[in-house]
C-alpha cells in the first residue's frame, strides 16, 4: 500500500522511554477516536516502534491488543529484563533477603556491562521489533514515517525515511549497553534517544508545521540521595537528559506528557497501565489538538512570519 501524502492533519513526534512508550498507544487511541487526522509521524526509540506500527496501518485497537499480548509474553518476562527492573527498586523497607538479592543482581549487571557488548543481546530486541512491525519498507507505508537513530562515530542523529522498517526501528531502539549496536549501510548506530530523545527539531527541518510532541520520559525529581559513585554518575546523566529534552519540546506546538514517571523503562509488563496513562493525558488536550488544525487568520500568519507569534 502506498502512502496517502496527506496534506491535512497533525504531525506527531513520539519520544523515547522504553516500556513507557506503550503510553503512545493510549495517545493514539484518543486521537483516533476523536477524529484527529495524523499527517505524519517521526519517532525515536520507543516512539519509533509505536509510530512505525501506526504508520504501517495498525489501528490503535489492534496496537492495544498487541501490547497486552506482549506484556504477557516470554519477552516481557525475560529474566534479564526483569533483573533490570529489580535492580533499581528502592530497598529501604525491604527484607535482608531482598537486599542481598538486589546486590547479587546489581553485581551481575555490572559484570555484563563491563565484560560484554550488551546486557540483553540482539535477539530480544529483534523479536520485539518483529512482534510489533510488519516486514515492510518505510517508503511504502500508508502514512509518512521517519525514525531517528544515533551515529556512534559522529554522535549525529540519523533520520530514516526509507528502507526496511524493522531495521530502522531496531537501530532507533538499540538502548546503549542493553542492546548491541546496529550496522546500517556501514554506519554503527544506537538508540535515537541519545542524540534526539524527542525529535522535534528533525520534524521542523522536514517541514512539519503542526507538531504534537508526546514525551514519555520520567520526571527529573528524585527524593533519594545516591550513595554509590555509579549512582551519582547515572543521576547526573538523567538530569542532563531531562534538560535537553525540555529544550527539544520548545519546538513543538503542543506537548502531551503522560504521567508515567514511576514506571521503569524495562517494565514491559505494565502495558495496560501505561496505555491508560496515555489516554488520560490526551483526553483533556484533545480540544487543543483540534485547535491546531483550524485555519489561521491572515493577521496571525503575518505575526508568525515576523516572529511575534508562535
- What's the predicted TM-score (pTM) here? 0.86
pLDDT of amino acid 93:
41
pLDDT tens digits, 105-117: 455 455 555 566 7
CA distance 204 to 157: 14
- Which of the residues 45, 87, 88, 173 is marked catalytic? 45
- Asked if residues 174 and 180 have their Cβ atoms less than 8 Å apart, the reply is yes
Q: Residue 286: what are its φ and ψ, rounded to 5°?
A: -60, -40
Nearest partner of 34 among 208, 293, 251, judged by Cα: 293
Q: Residues with Cβ < 8 Å from 212, sequence gap 6 or more?
A: 10, 11, 12, 13, 252, 253, 254, 255, 256, 289, 292
Q: For the CA atoms of 252, 245, 118, 83, what is the dihedral angle to 10 degrees?
A: -100
Q: Mean pLDDT of residues grouped by 10 in the chain (310 residues)? A: 61 97 99 97 98 98 98 93 72 41 48 67 94 98 98 97 98 94 97 95 93 91 76 77 87 96 93 98 97 76 58
Domain annotation for the chain: domains and CATH numbers: 10-86+120-306 (3.40.1090.10)
- Which of the residues 11, 128, 172, 191 is marked catalytic? 191
Which letter does DSSP use for residue 214 in this model? Answer: E
Task: Kindly report the number of other CB atoms within 10 A of residue 149's CB atom.
Answer: 33
Residue 234 pairs with which residues in a beta bridge?
A: none
Q: Residues with Cβ < 8 Å from 296, sequence gap 6 or more?
A: 304
- Asked if residues 86 and 97 have their Cβ atoms less than 8 Å apart, the reply is no
pLDDT of amino acid 86:
74
Three-class SS of 186-208: CEEEEECHHHHCCCHHHHHHCCC
Is residue 4 annotated as a catalytic residue, yes or no? no
Is residue 45 annotated as a catalytic residue, yes or no? yes
Amino acid at each position: 500500500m502506498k502512502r496517502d501524502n496527506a496534506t491535512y492533519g497533525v504531525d506527531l513526534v513520539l519520544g523515547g522511554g522504553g516500556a513507557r512508550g506503550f503510553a503512545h498507544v493510549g495517545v493514539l487511541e484518543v486521537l483516533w477516536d476523536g477524529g484527529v487526522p495524523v499527517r505524519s509521524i517521526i519517532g525515536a526509540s520507543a516512539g519509533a516502534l509505536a509510530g512505525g506500527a501506526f504508520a504501517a496501518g495498525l489501528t490503535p485497537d489492534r496496537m492495544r491488543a498487541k501490547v497486552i499480548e506482549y506484556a504477557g509474553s516470554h519477552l516481557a518476562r525475560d529474566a534479564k529484563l526483569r533483573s533490570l527492573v529489580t535492580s533499581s527498586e528502592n530497598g529501604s523497607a525491604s527484607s535482608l533477603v531482598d537486599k542481598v538479592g538486589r546486590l547479587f543482581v546489581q553485581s551481575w549487571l555490572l559484570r555484563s556491562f563491563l565484560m560484554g557488548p550488551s546486557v540483553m543481546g540482539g535477539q530480544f530486541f529483534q523479536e520485539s521489533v518483529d512482534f510489533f512491525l510488519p516486514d515492510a519498507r518505510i517508503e511504502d507505508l500508508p502514512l509518512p514515517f521517519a525514525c531517528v537513530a544515533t551515529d556512534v562515530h559522529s554522535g549525529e542523529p540519523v533520520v530514516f525515511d526509507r528502507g526496511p522498517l524493522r531495521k530502522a526501528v531496531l537501530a532507533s531502539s538499540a538502548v546503549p549497553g542493553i542492546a548491541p549496536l546496529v550496522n546500517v549501510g556501514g554506519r554503527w548506530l544506537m538508540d535515537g534517544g541519545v542524540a534526539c530523545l524527542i525529535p522535534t527539531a528533525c520534524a521542523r527541518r522536514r517541514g512539519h508545521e503542526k507538531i504534537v510532541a508526546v514525551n514519555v520520559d520520567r520526571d527529573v525529581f528524585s527524593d533519594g540521595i545516591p550513595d554509590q559513585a555509579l549512582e551519582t554518575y547515572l543521576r547526573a546523566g538523567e538530569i542532563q537528559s531531562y534538560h535537553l529534552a525540555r529544550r527539544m519540546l520548545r519546538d513543538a506546538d503542543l506537548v502531551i506528557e503522560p504521567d508515567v514517571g514511576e514506571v521503569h523503562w524495562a517494565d514491559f509488563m505494565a502495558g495496560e497501565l501505561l496505555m491508560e496513562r496515555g489516554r488520560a493525558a490526551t483526553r483533556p488536550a484533545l480540544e487543543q489538538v483540534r485547535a491546531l488544525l483550524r485555519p489561521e487568520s491572515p493577521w496571525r500568519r503575518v505575526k508568525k512570519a515576523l516572529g511575534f507569534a508562535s
